Amino acid sequence: MAIDNSPPIYTLKDAHLSFGLHPLFTGLDLVIGRSDKTCLIGRNGSGKSTLLKVIAGVIEPDKGEIFIQPGTKIAYMPQESDFKGFKTLKDVILSGLDEHHADDEYRADILIAQLDIAGNQNPETASGGERKKAALGKALIGEPDILLLDEPTNHLDITTIEKLEEIINAFKGAVIVISHDRAFLNHISTSTIWLDRGILRANDKGFAHFEDWQEQIINQEIIEQKNLLKKIEEETEWLHKGVTARRKRNMGRLRRLQQLRLERKEQIKQTGSVNLTIDKGEILSKMIVETKHIYKSFGDRELVKDFTIRILRGNKIGIVGPNGAGKTTLIKLMTKRLEPDQGFVRIAKNLEEAYFDQNRITLDPTKTLWKTLCPEGDHIFVRGHYRHVVAYLKDFLFTSAQAKTPVGALSGGEKNRLMLALALAKPSNFLVLDEPTNDLDMDTLDLLQEALDEYTGTILIVSHDRDFLDKVCTSLLYMKGNGTITEYVGTYSDLLAAEKEKARQIAVKKNPVKKMVKTPDTIKNIQAPTLKKKLSFKEQHLLKTLPGEIEKLQNKVTILESKLHNPDFYAQNPDEFNKTSIELTTTKEQLEIAEITWLELEILQEEILGQK
Domain assignment present for 314: yes
Q: What is the pLDDT of residues 342-372, one digit of tens each?
A: 999 999 888 888 888 766 567 888 999 999 9
Please count the structural domains in the chain: 3
Look up the CATH number of the domain holding residue 606: 1.10.287.380
What percentage of the chain exceeds 70 in pLDDT? 83
d(CA 332, CA 289): 12
What percentage of the chain exceeds 90 in pLDDT? 33
For residue 31, give the nearest of 187, 193, 221 by alpha carbon: 193
d(CA 436, CA 537): 63
* 381 and 440 both lie in a single domain: yes
If one counts every other C-beta atom within 10 angstroms of the C-beta of residue 419, the result is 20
pLDDT of 596 reads 73
Model confidence at 274, pLDDT cuts 50, 70, 90, reads very low
For residue 48, give the nearest of 182, 195, 179, 152 by alpha carbon: 195
Residue at 10: amino acid letter: Y
Are 413 and 440 a contacting pair, CB within 8 Å?
A: yes
Q: pTM (2 decimals)?
A: 0.67
Maximum alpha-carbon separation in the chain: 96
* 442 and 540 both lie in a single domain: no
Q: What is the pLDDT of residues 195-208, one digit of tens each?
A: 988 889 999 999 99
Domain assignment present for 64: yes
Which whole number is the average pLDDT over 438-444? 75
* 268 and 219 both lie in a single domain: no
Domain assignment present for 238: no
pLDDT of 342 reads 93
* 487 and 554 both lie in a single domain: no
* 465 and 384 both lie in a single domain: yes
State the pairing for strand pair 199-203/191-196. antiparallel
* 453 and 546 both lie in a single domain: no
Of 103-117, 345-359, 448-462, the poorest mean pLDDT is in: 345-359
Count of helices and strands (H, E) across the chain:
19, 20
Is pLDDT at 281 greater than 80 in this prediction? no
Domain assignment present for 507: no
Radius of gyration from C-alpha coordinates of the chain: 29
List all residues 6 or more positions away from 392 whose beta carbon is below 8 Å from its beta carbon: 373, 380, 382, 421, 425
* 452 and 580 both lie in a single domain: no
* 219 and 264 both lie in a single domain: no
Domain assignment present for 73: yes
* 300 and 372 both lie in a single domain: yes
Domain assignment present for 421: yes
pLDDT of 573 reads 76
List all residues 6 or more positions away from 377 whose beta carbon is below 8 Å from its beta carbon: none
Of 250-264, 300-314, 358-372, 441-455, the poorest mean pLDDT is in: 250-264
Q: Which residue has the higher pLDDT, 329 or 1?
A: 329
Please name the residue ranges forming H helices in 228-236.
none
Residue 224, Ramachandran bin (φ over 0: left; ψ between -120 and 50: alpha; else beta): alpha
Q: What is the three-class DSSP state of 81?
A: coil
* 222 and 306 both lie in a single domain: no
* 82 and 164 both lie in a single domain: yes
Which whole number is the average pLDDT over 190-217? 90
Domain assignment present for 342: yes
* 125 and 219 both lie in a single domain: yes
DSSP 361-399: ----TTSBHHHHH-SSSSEEEETTEEEEHHHHHHHTT--
Look up the CATH number of the domain holding residue 17: 3.40.50.300
Domain assignment present for 352: yes
Domain range for 49 is 10-227
Model confidence at 145, pLDDT cuts 50, 70, 90, reads very high
Distance between the two ends of the chain, CA-based, in angstroms?
Answer: 58
DSSP H or E run through 30: strand 22-32
Strand partners, 28: 15
d(CA 487, CA 197): 44
**How many CA atoms within 13 Å lie on the side-chain side of 234?**
9
- Measure the CA dihedral 566/302/437/51, to 10°: -150
- Measure the CA dihedral 368/373/376/379, to 10°: -120
Whole-number mean pLDDT of the chain? 81
The alpha carbon of residue 542 and the mean position of all alpha carbons in its chain are separated, in whole angstroms, by 47
